[in-house]
Chains A and B, each alone.
Chain A
Amino acid sequence: AQSVTQLDSQVPVFEEAPVELRCNYSSSVSVYLFWYVQYPNQGLQLLLKYLSGSTLVKGINGFEAEFNKSQTSFHLRKPSVHISDTAEYFCAVRKETSGSRLTFGEGTQLTVNP
């Protein structure tokens, strides 16, 4: 079975600063990786996904993530955050097999302060 660890439960940053939200995964087989964002009182939105190809994946809202197979990581980055980026961010993984279940990490609360 696969698992996901988000290394920071809370990340406070100042507006316009860069941010990195860390995600490590564990799996005995090849996986697909995802980042979702959840704004207060809303459902999740898919930010970006890695399925194959380039290890640097660009998503919505200026976020990007890099898949590092040797370090089993998929960290999310943004060079300059806005107040509106304040939200809960979830890393998720699933096996490449079609129909396999998506496993979520425990989430990282990003708080952007003025």
Chain B
Amino acid sequence: DTAVSQTPKYLVTQMGNDKSIKCEQNLGHDTMYWYKQDSKKFLKIMFSYNNKELIINETVPNRFSPKSPDKAHLNLHINSLELGDSAVYFCASSQDSTGQPQHFGDGTRLSIL
């Protein structure tokens, strides 16, 4: 059973489009995260939710909007995609909100043409 699953695995789209990435965890964890990994493999947190409430919101363009319908799901919607948005986006979860993710999804590779 996959602990943290995100879809799609690959996303190729054109500049200006709007796209969503979905994430689900079946671990019963309270906290979920979105991380961005750039082409140099540098990882940076974007958002964190605890029990559906936003607790970390880094300096991310407001074109990125997370949504957590329940504590098992954290989706990421991106409006007006730009070339610089090309990256691998990872969803992660942890049991509590202490700050370090325990389980990661396999990533969504977003490529902007």
Contact = CB atoms under 8 A, between A and B. Distances in A.
Interface in A12-49: 32, 34, 38, 41-46, 49
Interface string B38-55: 001111110000000001
Which size class do B's interface residues fall under? Answer: 20 to 34
A59 B88 CA distance: 26
Contacts of A42: 104, 106-107
Main secondary structure on chain A at its contact with chain B? Answer: strand
Given A42-B107, A43-B107, A102-B45, A92 B100 contact: yes
B100 A49 contact: yes
Interface residues of A, number: 22
Contact of B45 (A38, A43, A101): A101
B90 A106 contact: no
Given A99-B55, A106-B41, A107-B41, A43 B98 contact: no
Contact of A98 (B90, B97, B104, B106): B97
A28 B106 CA distance: 34
A41 B106 contact: yes
A46 B98 CA distance: 15
Contact of A43 (B56, B58, B92): B92
Nearest to A44: B104
Given A43-B4, A102-B45, A104-B42, A34 B100 contact: yes
Contacts, number: 57
A98 B42 CA distance: 23
A43 B34 CA distance: 12
B99 A45 contact: no
A38 B42 CA distance: 12
21 contacts: A41-B106, A42-B106, A43-B4, A43-B103, A43-B104, A43-B107, A44-B43, A46-B100, A46-B101, A46-B102, A49-B100, A92-B100, A98-B98, A98-B99, A99-B55, A99-B98, A100-B99, A101-B45, A101-B56, A102-B101, A104-B43
Top 3 nearest A-B pairs by Cβ distance?
A43-B104, A104-B43, A44-B104
